[in-house]
Amino acid sequence: MKKLILSIGIVFVLSACTGYKQGQNSIAYKELPSNYDNPSSESITRINRKEYLNDSILTNLIDSAFIYNNDLQMAFQKIEMAKSSLQFYKGKLNPEINISLSGGVRRFGLYTMDGAGNSTTDIIPNKRVPVNLPDIFTGFQANWEVDFRGKLNNQKKAAYAKLLSTEEGIKYIKTNLVTEIATRYYELIALDNELEIIKETITKQKEALEYVKAQKDAGKTNELAVLQFSGQLQNLLMLELEIQQQILRNENGLNLLVGRFSQTIHRNKESLYQANTVLQKGLPSDILNTRPDIKAAELNLSAAKLDVKAAKAAFLPSFNIISGIGFQAFNSSYLFKTPESMAFNLLGGLVAPLVNKSAIKANFNLANANEIEALSNYQQKIINGYVEVVNEFSELNNLSAINTIAKKKNEETNLAVDNALSLYKSARVPYIDVIIAQQNALQSNIELINVAKRKKITALNVYKSIGGGWE
């Protein structure tokens, strides 16, 4: 009979182990370039952001943001949650030991095996076992799942990979925050320069208007010329107000990123035109080791693979050891009477799912789908990284050429204003030529400022695209 029961048990356990099929990850790894067109042994990601930005005011703003930015502070809590998850899975590898104090009462039916035996048995000399039998226990109880299939260990490793991924995610947030703060900072400086140009143009336009008015009073021009110059002045005054409002909005936006209330942002106007010479050091040949988002995606993929292994192991039998040691008695006065009240138990057994395995199958399928998703995300992050680097460096090179053209155009348009005014005063060109020349000069001045701003922001994006700025 015992052999039959044992055989049935073995059959049940083995049948429980056949409830899964390995998932098919249909996504293949893509061929990736091994290096860039411009490889270098020295990565600019190793350059500290303070050295790279070369502006103490800007770096102080970033340092404050790393302390007070609310989004970053919320992200730090994800690290704490990941640490707690890791500690949880570490704890599951160890025996669970509890201290217990329990009490109860049992009554056996008189026409049962236990009841019949108790009715003829002395619990103590000359005292039969009572019908209602109390039971008091105090001591230690332990429950330990022996991880011989590696399920718990894989869960722990997955939790650790997720922790590392979260830390890389924090680095990525910092990199984005550096770029966003610096971008707003350079936009502010560009607006300051635009405002300065507009104010200078307003001053010149007022002088031109006064001259045209004097010409009209002398009968050398007409009222239309005065109105045209006056209208141009009003346009400049409105543009001045618009730029001032943009400055206020950008200051408030920058303060929000830093995590503080609205206040004046001090800035170095000259930093807009400082060249990022460190960019000439070249490009790293491998962004896989420099970009935090790619490293995070890789770690998430590792965690997903480990989750699949853990989910697969759930189909297999688990070996549990249950034990306890303490004092047990039917009366509290006998509870600590040794050795009579000493009690212990030790039980080991294999446990495997047999009938209701749908939840385990669903968990395995979910883990497998997560692995496929993580693989796809990892490969997409790599492709995005390469594309971003190529695009940003290409734009930076083009902006250098555009800047050269913009400077020449700016020189010519400013010279054209002086020539137009001189010719107008000698009555050799109409007043409209002066207005057109002034408009062209203002536009070219603003374009030159915007090109300088785009160069700084693109240099930031290059730094960001290869994973710099978080350290």
Band of residue 239 on the pLDDT scale cut at 50, 70, 90: very high
Packing angle of the helix pair 70-92, 151-217 (nearest 10 deg)? 170
Select the more confidently predicted residue: 325 or 121: 325
Q: What is the pLDDT of residues 336-395, one digit of tens each?
A: 878 878 887 777 776 767 666 788 888 888 888 989 989 998 888 888 888 888 888 888
Using 50, 70 and 90 to split pLDDT, how confident is the model at 196? very high
Say what the pLDDT of residue 14 is. 41
One-letter-per-residue 3-state SS of 186-218: HHHHHHHHHHHHHHHHHHHHHHHHHHHHHHHHC
Q: Where are the strands (E) in 264-341, listed by range?
A: 283-284, 318-329
Cα dist from 425 to 215, 219, 230, 394, 436, whole Å? 9, 13, 18, 47, 16
Q: Has this prediction a pTM greater than 0.85? A: no
The closest of 175, 399, 407 to 279, measured between CA atoms, is 399
CA distance 20 to 369: 14
Domains of the chain: 28-93+151-317+359-465 (1.20.1600.10), 96-146+320-351 (2.20.200.10)
How much of the chain exceeds pLDDT 90, in percent?
A: 15
Q: What is the maximum alpha-carbon separation in the chain?
A: 142
Compute the average pLDDT of residues 80-84: 77
Q: State the sign of the Cα–Cα–Cα–Cα dihedral 7, 10, 11, 12.
A: positive
